[in-house]
Amino acid sequence: MTIEGAATEIPLPGADNGSSGLALGPDGNLRFTLSDSRVGRLTLAGEITYFPTVRPYTYPQGIAVGPDGNVWFTAGNLIGRISL
């Protein structure tokens, strides 16, 4: 979204069930959670990469990125980490 309020929508290929959490990493890339047990990364160049969680059907939601780039997320009664 620009300062003037213009927004750009970016489709998430292969993400049929929707996204939930969103966090900005120290590298300027966005991390997000998908309801199909994956975490995604969107780079400034528009490249999307998906990372599966360890357990299927966990439906990750909350997400945060540490200063070291590790991605932390919640999924039900679990806390997960993905090291990137």
**Cα dihedral 65, 21, 23, 49 sign:** positive
Domain that includes residue 67, residue range: 19-82
3-class SS at 68?
coil
Q: What is the pLDDT of residue 76?
A: 81
Averaged in consecutive runs of 10 residues, what is the pLDDT profile of the chain (84 residues)?
84 74 90 88 90 81 89 88 84
Q: Is the pTM of this model over 0.95?
A: no
d(CA 4, CA 40): 27
Residue 7 domain flag: no
CA distances in angstroms from 4 to 7, 9, 28, 30, 32, listed in the order given: 9, 16, 21, 21, 24
Q: How many domains does the chain fold into?
A: 1
Residue 6 domain flag: no
Q: What is the pLDDT of residue 15?
A: 64
Residue 30 domain flag: yes
The answer to whether 65 touches 48, Cβ cutoff 8 Å, is no
Residue 28 domain flag: yes
Residue 51: CATH number of its domain:
2.40.10.500
Residue 1 domain flag: no
